[in-house]
Chain A
Amino acid sequence: MNKNVLVLGAGVAGLQAALSLKELGYRVTILEKSSSAGGHLKDWDKLYPGNISSSGLIDNLISALDGTDILYNTTVTRSEKSDNGFITEISSGEKIDSGAIVIASGFSLFDARIKEEYGYGIYRRVITNADLEALFRSKEIHKMEMPAKVGFVHCVGSRDEKVCNRHCSKICCMTAVKQACEIKEIWPHADVYCFYMDLRMFGRGYEDLYYEAQSKFGVNFIRGRVSEAGEDKDGKVVVKAEDTLTSRPLKITLDLLVLMSGMVRNTDNKTISDVFGIPTGEDGFFFQPSPLINPTSSDSSGIYFAGSATGPKTVAESINEARAAALAVHKFLSKD
């Protein structure tokens, strides 16, 4: 029995899958295309529910993985099936022998510049959810002058066929409301507005956060997608939307506009798909033959998925799926 497993991606799903496999007695090699582990979480500040430190979560996983090979700045170039599993060639030219493969390639954050009408990269006071999180993380936010009015635009690059993303990114409603509350905690006198189409507060504790945003923090929720943002002579952001609940057009001048960039397919999915011969769906995320019953299975035996490689997921879901993928690998490798 081949006790080696190859994991693609050192984000939260990849690290957790590797840890669970290590605990089951497998020798794991993790490939990571960037120069450090942690994926998107290493740039995030706090996670909801529980206000857990994002980097702390990653640090714990990495220290538990002590002794596991993580090959940084490494990608896959070729892979073929062998009698004993897979022989995968990586960018350094080295060949890795493994009995199974876990694809935890994650997602890419939607490039908000594509939605040009919101002015990201054009207007100084337009930032993304990731930028705001970086400001929280670095504590730079405390050096900023208090903005009188802050706006959040939900669904940037999600539910939008104009940018070829029909899907809902699932986590942005939560993130927007969490960040809105954090802004109010720093600046209680700032007015905060969330522009949404639907609020999809789908999980346990999420609706409570929405309730708290309204009752404790007085965050204003306006149902209507922002149509455009412009800059006035003072450099403030003028936002236009329809208030669809009163059926009137609406205008507001903001000191800071935060765009909730959604989760889109990892830009490397095409390469990974070609190397391993596993298809992607129309949306670019990997195709799951049995998403309901075996969400971690691919249509190629011995190759499994974990995390947002197969669609937008929360951190908790990615962690659970990584554990499930490790068990699926264990079952697959134990059968002979």
Chain B
Amino acid sequence: MEEFGFKISKSTRIDLDSACQSLYNQIASKVPDIRTCINCGSCSASCTAATFRRTSFRGAILHINRGFDKKAVEFLKSCMLCGKCFLVCPRGIDTRNIILEIIRSEEG
């Protein structure tokens, strides 16, 4: 049966007081480049996979920084590790190793 009436929606607000940045810090200890992203979007604009499926390196590391680790993995599910994002990144961020770290974190 169809449900009627009101229900409470989950807040979409980012609460940085309780956000867990442990994965972000863990990756930063191995690949410090992650801290130098300027969110320009070159990586996602040039992403081959993003043409067909929602893929964004920028989105992934931003979400990890805000404590949404699961969401970050979703952003990289279709990544084929082609390396275009590394070629275009103006800060020269080692995207490949960061992507691998994020994927490993889910497996581990």
B15 and A251: CB pair below 8 A? yes
* A250: chain B residues within 8 A (beta carbon): 13-16
Select one of B32, B38, B66 contacting A243, CB under 8 A: B66
Decide if A230 is an interface residue (CB 8 Å cutoff): no
Contacts of B32 in A (CB 8 A): 215
Quick check: is B51 within 8 A (CB to CB) of the other chain?
Answer: no
> Nearest residue in A to B14 (C-beta to C-beta)?
A250
Q: Do A243 and B14 form a contact, CB below 8 Å, given A211-B36, A214-B36?
A: yes
- In chain B, what residue has the closest Cβ to A212? B36
Type the 1/0 row for B35-49, where 1 means its CB is closer than 8 Å to any CB of A: 110110000000000
Minimum Cβ distance to chain B for residue A278 (Å): 42
Please tell me if the beta carbons of B35 and A246 are within 8 angstroms of each other in the complex: no
B14/A218 in contact, CB under 8 A: no
Interface flags for B11-54 (1: CB within 8 Å of A; 0: not) read: 01111110000000000100011011011000000000000000
Known A211-B36, A215-B35, A218-B35; contact A249-B66, beta-carbon cutoff 8 A: no
- B33 contact set on A, CB distance < 8 A: 215
Whether A253 lies near B17 (C-beta < 8 A) is yes
A79 vs B86: C-alpha distance in the bound complex, in angstroms? 64
* Interface set, chain B 41-80, CB cutoff 8 A to A: 59, 62-63, 65-66
A207 closest partner in B (C-beta): B38
Residues of B that sit less than 8 Å from A by CB: 12-17, 28, 32-33, 35-36, 38-39, 59, 62-63, 65-66, 91
In the complex, 25 of the A-B residue pairs with CB atoms within 8 angstroms, ordered by the A residue number, are A199-B38, A214-B36, A215-B32, A215-B33, A215-B35, A220-B65, A243-B14, A243-B66, A245-B39, A245-B62, A246-B14, A246-B62, A248-B13, A248-B14, A249-B12, A249-B13, A249-B14, A250-B13, A250-B14, A250-B15, A250-B16, A251-B16, A251-B17, A252-B15, A252-B17
